[in-house]
Structure 1
């Protein structure tokens, strides 16, 4: 077993189901805490806000059962996240709803700061950006990954970072939230489906 396999298996052992992750979000909100070792007013505020957003998305969004290419072998979708992550609040419910369209897909969730070895295997431009979806086959071999946000949202983020005097994140996050509301999860679903489809096509070519 190689080192990545060991890291993934260790993460899987302490992973949460979607229901357990939702319970954690609710518990943190009720106790005025955030996930991870660092606690601050900002992280606690975003945890509460994200819990509200996830609750709304769960009730108001739906995923076409045909959005995902046909899968005939079991997969595990392992997502790295944290309660305070705004992009996770906008995409985790979509990841879950998409996975639920196929009974062969199991979803698991882990916290980034409790799984830094795993996170460091899936960096985005050298950073520990979340959420990060890791798609695994039945043997927990990596098929592909996605994250931390849809490409168009990433462009907004990049442009914000390039501003001569970047606005505070609290101000930029409003713009990002408006984009997510307008997109209605379509980009997240389409991009993840494309990754799955690419794997299926590459398998058929062999």
Structure 2
């Protein structure tokens, strides 16, 4: 048995374990709302900042759940998708990028029963997260598409839409780190973009 096969088997086993204990999108939304009500956050960091980020994420998801309009191209692609697939999303309640993208993936799930969105908390599933790092980091959200018949990973997405990823990398290259002001600008960009970039990326998963 070669090393690659060994790693793949370990990854498959880790994914199965994570999916078995995962939540539906609706269950995740309830969890986040409960965290807001108790002035807390998922994960070990219970700082005031993370509690506030969780509150912001809850408000964003609530708004997007009501207002997102799926593009015609994405709607057609979702309706015609014929593989049985699980979209596992690794995230935490405080993650602003997740709040912008998860409602889109849930809308797609609602269009086709072949697509099942499952949500797992990153910090409860570190072993699985280690298989899906971004530039060596545990960036979230991370969507992993798994074929339900073969258990093979057939796609990945995250932590941000392609356009936003370039914005972040360009800013880091110039300034060395992301400032609070840039993070605020990024959220403004998400609002203006109206999930268009996320939907374009989602087409690549279908």
Per the TM superposition, whether the score is higher than 0.5 is yes
- In structure 2, the partner of 1:195 is 205
Candidates 175, 184, 193, aligned match of 1:183? 193
Tell me the TM-score normalized by structure 1: 0.89
- In structure 1, the partner of 2:27 is 20
Task: Output one character per residue of 1:148-186: Cα deviation in whole Å (capped at 9) or x when no partner.
Answer: 0011111121122223475632x1122101111121111
Candidates 139, 154, 159, aligned match of 2:165? 154
Task: Output one character per residue of 1:95-127: Cα deviation in whole Å (capped at 9) or x when no partner.
Answer: 111222212111100000000111110101111
CA contact (8 A) 1:68 1:98 kept: yes
Q: Secondary structure at the match of 2:89?
A: strand
Task: Output one character per residue of 1:6-58: Cα deviation in whole Å (capped at 9) or x when no partner.
Answer: 10111011100111100001000000001012211111110001100110001
Tell me the TM-score normalized by structure 2: 0.89
Structure 2 distance, partners of 1:182, 1:87, is 14
Cα RMSD between the aligned structures? 1.6
Structure 1 distance, partners of 2:139, 2:178, is 20
Gaps in structure 2 of 5+ consecutive residues: 1-7
Which segment is superposed worse, 69-78 or 50-59? 69-78
- In structure 1, the partner of 2:137 is 127
CA contact (8 A) 1:78 1:133 kept: yes
Task: Output one character per residue of 1:45-96: Cα deviation in whole Å (capped at 9) or x when no partner.
Answer: 1000110011000111121421437222211111001000010000010111
Gaps in structure 1 of 5+ consecutive residues: 197-206
- In structure 1, the partner of 2:61 is 54
